Structure 1
Amino acid sequence: MSITIKDIAKLANVSHTTVSRALNNSPLVNDETKTKIKEIAKQYNYIPNYNARSLKLDKSYNIGLFFTSLGKGTSSSFFHKAVIGVNKVIKDNYNLVIRGVEDYNDYSLINAKHFDGIILVSQSEKDNDFIVHSQKNNIPIVVVNRLVEFKDVSCFLSDDRVGAYKVVDYLIQEGHEKIAFIKGKEGYLNTEEREKGYLQALIDNNISIIKSYIANGEYSLNSGYNGMKKILENEDKPTVVFCSNDDMAVGAIKAIEEEGLSVPEDISVVGFDESEFSKFTSPELTTVRRYIEKISEEGTKKLLKIIDSDKDHKEITYINSELIIRKSVEKIKSFI
């Protein structure tokens, strides 16, 4: 009976994964260990089983983490949490390559030789062509942050519509009826879902939708500032503004204070995403916590299972968001 990878692993005092990588010249194994393992394999006349998945000769040991855009519509805190979630799972087993989908004029460099698998942090339907390309090139892919209807593509996300509904309903229970809204980047599914949650909460509570209380944004500090400036042009000013992310909420606070108004005494402010600085604003920001790190982590676990088994049983997983109440909302009346 011929020697196996597990036998070599015992003799070399390493894991069988390390043996597999060493025999395939993976950059993740140092030269000294590679030499030791190859000498043992030669000494015992090891014959590789090329049908074994663990000995896939075309492995790159690269995992691609692709965002719709690295420059627009992706806040630093969102980016940071997504990277942490993926890194927590892959550890030192794979190299992490981070790219923006929009950075490619064509996808010719996206192939199975360069990537063993891809996590797509998707915010727009424009990414659909990228998903199709990945599938055609037999690259395992998991989508996080957006629900897609592709066959055999698993998705991990939070329900943004529910999260937005929660925060607006909370504002109404605190006595607010003049509720302004700064939207996210146009064309992003998260933007649409948060707006739907905002509108549905108003409708369900019989509160008027005032178009001049709704401003466009791009998930950036500057767009929150400009959106709030536009809303403040209303003679009858809102008592609260709901911003589609925390960056825009910070911009809105600056615009409000420049008008000589106070937060939350004159106008309350709420955000979304719970960025790292939300509890360091003055006042501390009420927001919706989306577990981006957890979403990315679970998506990566699923991807590694697909890579190891070469099969994908489609999975749609929603990870609940949480309303985080702090000090940026003023209660303006009590309900009896």
Structure 2
Amino acid sequence: MSITIKDIAQVAGVSYSTVSKALNDSPLVKPETKSKIIGIAQELGYEPNYAAQQLVRKQSRVIGLIWPTIERIAPATLLTRINEEISKNAYSMVLSINSIKESLEMFKRFNVDGIIVFDERNQEEFESISFPVVTYGVAKKKAIPVVDVNYQQAMEKAVNYLYELGHREIAYVGDFSLGDERQKEKYYGFKKAMTRLRLPVSRENLINTNGLDWYDGYLATKRLISSSISPTAVIGGSYDISAGVVRALREANRVIPKDVSVISYDNVPQMANLEVPLTSVGVPVEDMAFHIVKTLMAHMHKDDTVPYVNILTPEITERNSCAHAQNIHRKLQS
């Protein structure tokens, strides 16, 4: 038989309302009384009826998150940090990798208090729902609040960083063939920075991976190695792509950064654990998670001071994968 508030009240010799307040950490209950009640609840094995609490509070204390894939390292890391931030705010997270429509139906059944979405497409489906929603992506034509990590600026910083190290022949290995706004912004940022610095931009140094997995980066880099150009530096479009870049270079007996410098998008701690610790650019993953959750919480509590568009500033994290161009010893070509 399950233990109820009534059972706890009888043992503690207090009213039902006092037990309820104590279990909800109300300041109206004296600390010693609260401690006594919590101790009795634990001894009796009391388990809160969350469904009943939800009806009373009209809150589920649950956040829904929609993301189409969790297979890659950087997204999985960000999900973990978001879950930690949500927990700090005394909420729980429910993750869905289904379509937006299916996810919304599930979240309605859970009666979630808010939703974070990472799918750039079909956002018009959110216009008719009653849940507060925040998206992580590109701040263009969004019908819902957005946290943007400024992908173009990240790529510009990467190019500038290499330029200051003396590099003039720079290649970009990334996915710019799909309808993914985040990837296209990186591509545009690279081209903008190269053009501004009057560096060459052509089909030879824009290497399309046609995918976001490490093997896509690996195959693209092998094509680069066998091409007619010899860049002294390579920018990878993501953690996973850059892992493939590193593998292909090492298989070709290229030493990083002695033979070629490499910098990657995605500012995640795992960059330090690759075969070669990579210098990276982007918003630190813990900062991204903090701002995404903070923005959602503010909209849930109808805080009008929070901006509809929150654009974060990327930064460079230096490790061991970049050197001055004058120290490059060998050509990238086979």
TM-score, length-scaled by structure 2: 0.75
> How far apart are 1:310 and its partner, in Å?
9.2
Where 2:23 maps in the other structure, the secondary structure is coil
Q: Does 1:67 align with 2:61?
A: no
Residues 9, 172 of structure 1: CA spacing in aligned structure 2 closer, same or farther, 3 A cutoff?
farther
Aligned to 1:87: 84
Residue 251 of structure 1: which of 244, 247, 263 is its match? 244
Aligned to 2:145: 154
Aligned to 2:198: 206
Letter in 1 for 2:22: N
> How far apart are 1:168 and its partner, in Å?
0.6
Question: In the TM superposition, what whole-angstrom CA distance separates every residue of 1:75-102 from its partner, at most 9, and x where no partner exists?
Answer: 2233222332343234473331111254
Residues 167, 92 of structure 1: CA spacing in aligned structure 2 closer, same or farther, 3 A cutoff?
closer
User: In 2, Cα distance between the equivalents of 1:138 and 1:312?
Assistant: 20
Question: In the TM superposition, what whole-angstrom CA distance separates every residue of 1:272-305 from its partner, at most 9, and x where no partner exists?
Answer: 1133331233432111142233222222233233
When structure 1 is superposed on structure 2, of 172-181 and 113-122 the one drifting more is 113-122
> How far apart are 1:312 and its partner, in Å?
9.3
User: In 2, Cα distance between the equivalents of 1:159 and 1:169?
Assistant: 16
> How far apart are 1:325 and its partner, in Å?
2.2
Please tell me whether the aligned partners of residues 267 and 284 of structure 2 are also in contact (alpha carbons under 8 angstroms): no
Q: Does 1:230 align with 2:223?
A: yes
User: In 2, Cα distance between the equivalents of 1:149 and 1:17?
Assistant: 44
Letter in 1 for 2:67: F
Letter in 2 for 1:14: L
> How far apart are 1:133 and its partner, in Å?
2.7
Residue 118 of structure 2: which of 106, 118, 121 is its match? 121
Please tell me whether the aligned partners of residues 239 and 266 of structure 2 are also in contact (alpha carbons under 8 angstroms): yes
Q: Which runs of 4+ in 1 moved over 6 A?
A: 16-19, 310-313
Where 1:161 maps in the other structure, the secondary structure is helix
Alignment of 1:1-336 (within 5 A): 8=17, 12-15=21-24, 32=46, 55-57=56-58, 59-71=59-71, 75-91=72-88, 93-102=90-99, 107-111=104-108, 113-122=110-119, 124=120, 126-128=121-123, 132-151=124-143, 153-184=144-175, 186-217=178-209, 218-309=211-302, 315-333=308-326
RMSD between superposed Cα atoms in Å: 3.4
Question: In the TM superposition, what whole-angstrom CA distance separates every residue of 1:151-195 from its partner, at most 9, and x where no partner exists?
Answer: 5x2222211111110111111121212111111362211211111
> How far apart are 1:271 and its partner, in Å?
0.7
Please tell me whether the aligned partners of residues 65 and 118 of structure 1 are also in contact (alpha carbons under 8 angstroms): yes
Percent identity (aligned): 17
User: In 1, Cα distance between the equivalents of 2:239 and 2:192?
Assistant: 21
User: In 1, Cα distance between the equivalents of 2:103 and 2:136?
Assistant: 22
Please tell me whether the aligned partners of residues 86 and 300 of structure 1 are also in contact (alpha carbons under 8 angstroms): no
User: In 1, Cα distance between the equivalents of 2:164 and 2:250?
Assistant: 25
User: In 2, Cα distance between the equivalents of 1:286 and 1:92?
Assistant: 32
Residues 183, 17 of structure 1: CA spacing in aligned structure 2 closer, same or farther, 3 A cutoff?
farther
User: In 1, Cα distance between the equivalents of 2:280 and 2:157?
Assistant: 10
> How far apart are 1:145 and its partner, in Å?
3.1
Letter in 2 for 1:66: I
When structure 1 is superposed on structure 2, of 99-108 and 300-309 the one drifting more is 99-108
User: In 2, Cα distance between the equivalents of 1:184 and 1:100?
Assistant: 21
Please tell me whether the aligned partners of residues 64 and 118 of structure 1 are also in contact (alpha carbons under 8 angstroms): yes
Q: What are the ranges of 5 or more consecutive residues in structure 2 without an aligned counterpart? A: 1-15, 29-40, 328-334
Letter in 1 for 2:73: S
User: In 1, Cα distance between the equivalents of 2:234 and 2:223?
Assistant: 12
